[in-house]
Structure 1
Amino acid sequence: MTSIRPTCVRPRARALRKDCAPSPEHRGRSRRCCRHPDPGRDAGLPAYAGGHGHRHASTFPVRRRKFNAEELDRRRDDYAYLKQQRRAGATLQDHLDRPASFARFGDAADEALIESVRDLSAIPFPPDVPGFLRQHGSFKGDDALKALSVWPLGEMQRLSADDTAQWQRVRSRGLVDAIRWTWGNDRPDLEPGRAHAVISVEQAGSLDSRYTVIGRWTCPRLEGSGHLYFDGEGRSGIFHYHQDESPVHRLSGDSPARMNWDKLMNAALTEVLDPDGYD
């Protein structure tokens, strides 16, 4: 029997446990316990290629690693409580090894896969996104991070096939199409011609051609979601959508996107760790 934490709650930071202090030979190299491997550990600080061959360090993997380290500490505390209550049905290592709730990168995407999904977007990837895709492929955060994700390209490609069930099919990764897809392609406010539609065919086409969605986070308790997108100028942003409100008009003028890829991922992580939602 495992303990259950409420979803959409900011994980609490914890101090380094005394029983997991680094051994003398590792002291100074790592603040993490050397006896328990960190399942989210990255080798060094990656740099994603930007425009004109420039590369910039990405801080998002470091924050992901920190979150996973805190998740391990939470599990140790959970296990200690379960053991005290005589409800621990597994070993501590089994409890630590459960994959759920860890923030995980996916499988690296090769050039052929990246090229195969270009038709799903009317605009090209920003310069620093392909580097992330080649190195990590995707990202998944589960409930502890409000399901923050960067969608796997292979899944996008597979679900764009003509024989895919209507409720699953990816029409495109344009803003309107992507939001509809996350609702099983049944979102009346974003279906031009339907009684509750808030946009026309022309407006939907314009938004799809100007903005591409690459992932999102969502939290049922907040009845809202944040869609990670980029525009034709290579800038990124987060579009907040609520099930009872369709603020797509906010994107009808000049693009509000102002971030590069790493700033976008860090901004999204900050949002999902906010227990009160977003502004």
Structure 2
Amino acid sequence: MAFTLKSTARLPGGHQIPLLGLGVYQNYDARTSVLQALEASYRHIDSAQAYRNEEAVGQGIAQSNVKREDIFVTSKVTGRNQGYQSALQSVDKSLEKFGFDYIDLFLIHDPYPGKIKRLETYKALLEARDEGRIRNVGVSNYGIHHLKEITEAGFEPPAVNQIQLHPFCQQREIVDYCQRNGIIVQAYSPLIRAREGMFDHPTITAIANKHGKDNAQVLIRWTLRKGWVTLPKSSDPKRIASNVAVFDFDLDREDMADLDSLDRGDDGSVTWHPVNAP
């Protein structure tokens, strides 16, 4: 399948989202990493209020030689800021920290605050979008029942659902629901957080050796072959560069089938797993 670093997916509103982005979770010196990523030709940065690095991300973009309009930036409303008024205020705070006039994509970070606050927050983000402060509205860590409540309340579906995705946690029912309903799937933790016994699993290692690539590159390529937007996280300059060196090889049907066979369902989760929250 022919992908390049410039490959994008079309969001419902018409904007294009790059298929590969840099995740900056737990990266408090994100300014440096963003500069390195932009130098390596990334054009997509995934941040969040909870990451406490929106300001650093904004500084990195401002200090780069890349135009703001050529970079796709995501943030997320943290749980404590959910609710109609607090969500609206938090969008303004995020804009101030980034130093931006707009944010490309704003997500509800998780469903834990409950249905009432989830829907209030979603309404607030749609209003912020209509006012031009954000360009696209989505969700993160949403299960099917969370997604259904949005449309059942009379709102349009989210543009994106960002969930944990890697060979050991494939969340197939959620992915299928999203794809059938025009919701773009984003994969976070695609590198399995380098979990011992999983990241270095013999199946992954064998495929990497077959293609002359490393395990991280195989995992990233797998998510791209699935048609997902993928968000590998790193603060290591060498890893930031190598994680985009995934467009000069492909995985064949046997490779994909072998990786697909590693799925452990919820038991394969390597981080929080809010998709089952009530």
Task: Tell me if TM exceeds 0.5.
Answer: no
- Of structures 1 and 2, the one with the larger relative CO (CA 8 A, separation 6+) is 2
TM-score for both structures, normalised by structure 1: 0.28
| Larger-gyration structure (1/2) | 1
TM-score for both structures, normalised by structure 2: 0.28
Greater fraction of residues in helix: 2
